[in-house]
A and B are shown apart, each in its own frame.
Chain A
Amino acid sequence: MNNSTTTIETNTDFEVRSLDAMCLNESTLKHPWWYNLKYLFIGIVFGILLVKSEVISWFRIQEMFRLESFQMYGIIGSAVVTGIISILIIKKFNIKTIYGEKIEFHSKKFSKGQVYGGLIFGFGWALTGACPGPLFAQIGTGVLVTSITLLSAIAGTWMYGRMRESLPH
């Protein structure tokens, strides 16, 4: 435990983590591995939603970027509104996690990466018709060739990690 903590402190500075959607507000509680199964379940629900809302469809993404359908805007918009209201409720009533921990929120810091990286992701999103979540869901629905797209996305992530120091942030 102590060893692993030191590894993090020396190699992954706070800024790296705060730039990321990665879990900052990590629980200090120690749980057995099978506690993670609840996230598997949430993932299953999310995966089904991605398929049934047709977010995983290349056609829907095309419609969105051609302004030919309201569907995707409705989905993302109503998801954000639901998220905003939920977080307001959590903050207002100081709702705790099911283990009684305080739910913490961390502010994201601006970086040029959000602009450059955002544009690059936008290009990829339009080409593949899938953001990362739908890549996994597409494979699940039997479009096995998407696993190549996913592997390529992992390669892209790796390349970013490799080049990170020399990129503007």
Chain B
Amino acid sequence: MIDFLKQPWPWYISGPLIGLMVPLLLILGNKTFGVSSSLRHVCAICVPLKVPYFNYDWKKEAWNLCFVGGILVGGIIAGAFLLNGQPIEVSPKLVTEMSKYGITDYHSLVPAQLFNWPQLFTFKGLILMVGGGFLVGFGTRYAGGCTSGHSIMGLSNLQMPSLIATICFMAGGFIMTNLILPYILMLN
């Protein structure tokens, strides 16, 4: 059983289970599924300063911080007990493409050759981690949600703005991955 669980879970099992987060949160307490608002709450707690956007009663949103804290703990549990140490199986096309940039290690879900502490002090690492992170935080709040808030919760509730947001998430991702990222990966 545990060996079975240690394999990657197929999309038709994990996808519907992720979708069930929506009714679970609604039924447990009228909560709207969403992750990125937690970043706003952290700002509201730590550095609200005089910015009106961060001056609200974040304690009312404490559930959301518990929720993301849970995601972290879930990551710890899965990482400690539910991974089998096998390299991640990706499409052969990606393997060929990535080998051009010297990315050959598939033992971690996150490429260890790109995302590590020494890399953080290179131009490439700075763009990927610090630059990328900044865009994620800025963009999700500007868009009013992320993959969970818009693409899953919003689409589940048939919201047109969420469909527009999701299309733009994907468009941004396609542009970056195919037109810009190759040049970034070529950096040393």
Check if B29 sits within 8 Å of A27, measured CB to CB.
yes
Interface string of B161-175 (1 = CB under 8 A from A): 110111111111111
Output the nearest chain B residue to A101 by Cβ-Cβ distance. Answer: B30
- State in angstroms the CA–CA spacing of A153 and B90 once bound together: 27
Chain A contact-residue range equals 35 or more
- State in angstroms the CA–CA spacing of A120 and B69 once bound together: 25
- State in angstroms the CA–CA spacing of A104 and B31 once bound together: 9
From DSSP, what is the main secondary structure of chain B's interface residues? helix
The interface residues of chain A lying within 8 Å CB-to-CB of B28 are 38-39, 42, 97-98
Cross-interface CB contact of A39 among B70, B98, B128, B144, cutoff 8 Å:
B70
Cross-interface CB contact of A124 among B115, B136, B156, cutoff 8 Å:
B136
Query: Contacts A108-B154, A152-B134: A36 and B63 contacting too (C-beta < 8 A)?
Result: yes
A:126-161 near B, CB below 8 Å: 126-133, 135-143, 145-146, 148-161
Output the nearest chain A residue to B140 by Cβ-Cβ distance. Answer: A121
Does A11 reach chain B (CB closer than 8 Å)? yes
Check if B77 sits within 8 Å of A127, measured CB to CB.
no
Does B17 reach chain A (CB closer than 8 Å)? yes
The interface residues of chain A lying within 8 Å CB-to-CB of B40 are 20, 22, 157, 161
16 residue pairs from A and B, CB less than 8 Å apart:
A19-B144, A20-B144, A21-B154, A37-B66, A38-B28, A40-B73, A78-B11, A84-B156, A117-B140, A118-B165, A119-B172, A148-B120, A149-B136, A154-B137, A156-B141, A160-B53
